[in-house]
A = this chain, B = another copy of it.
Amino acid sequence: MKKPVILVTNDDGITAPGIKNLVEVAKEFGTVVVVAPDSPQSGKGHAVTLEDPIRLKKVDVFDGIEAYECSGTPVDCVKLAKFEVLKDKAPDLCVSGINHGSNVSSNILYSGTMSAAMEAAMENIPAIGFSLLDFSWEADFSGAQKIAREMIKHVLENGIPHSNLLNVNVPKLPADEIKGIKICRQADARWVENFQKMDNPRGLDLYWLTGEFINHDQRKDTDVWALSQGYASVVPCHFDLTAERAKEEMTKVFEK
């Protein structure tokens, strides 16, 4: 049987420990190709580079693995991987991460890690984004590697029916203390911002974005809940944003 081709990317940049840990797991399952940003791209969401050329450069970062660094966003990386590096021959799976920090709930929209995975899913490539609830560069990725191994195996064997994209978050716990995997929904949580005004010698009005992530969602099947209980959360996602009930009701009003 032919070995599957697995595309690996992230948003923390190609030198981040998180992607190194993900490459280690992915190569147990197939032929790995890495296309990842040459600089940190956290919070870049689904941005694409339209008004500048994008640079792609072959690098030797992971022992024996074909790898490219890219000056663009995580979504640019996936597009270049599919259409230039792999010459429109879609990989069997795309994995993104392991992100340094949580991507629960609506953070899927801000996250470069998840947007890269979503871009692959939009291209009909099954895709999984992995995030560890630990921002540290020295984080312990052994629990996240264990969960990644289980989910990559599952998706290569079963695909992701009725979805093409999984958002996986892993609690900050030693591998043997993670209770298991919970299939979840996206919690209805959001950021409350607080801009910090910056002193500067030019007297400009400069603000630095800070904020706090608040969850008021009490349901027991959300990603935030599962993580709080010591489980890794898996949210199957789609990218059809149509609000069906609103569509039905507005149709009645406008087709009168």
Contacts and interface: CB of A to CB of B under 8 A. Distances in A.
B109 A118 contact: yes
Interface residues of A, number: 79
Given A45-B46, A183-B250, A208 B54 contact: yes
B46 A51 contact: no
Question: Is chain A's binding surface mostly helix, strand, loop or mixed?
Answer: mixed
A48 to B, nearest CB: 5
Interface stretch (A1-9, A22-30, A79-87): A79-87
A48 B185 contact: no
A186 B50 contact: no
A142 interface: no
A198 interface: yes
Nearest to A235: B242
Given A122-B106, A185-B247, A241-B108, A48 B209 contact: yes
A181 B254 contact: yes
Contacts of A243: 162-163, 165, 236-238
Contacts of A195: 54, 79-80, 83-84
Interface stretch (A36-44, A92-100, A171-179): A36-44
Contacts of A167: 241
Given A40-B51, A45-B45, A45-B75, A83 B254 contact: no
Nearest to A53: B206
A56 interface: yes
Nearest to A44: B47
A207 B241 contact: no
Interface string A30-70: 00000000001011111111110111110000000000000
A8 B146 CA distance: 47
B245 A162 contact: yes
B123 A190 contact: yes
Contact of A241 (B42, B79, B160, B239): B239
Nearest to A252: B183
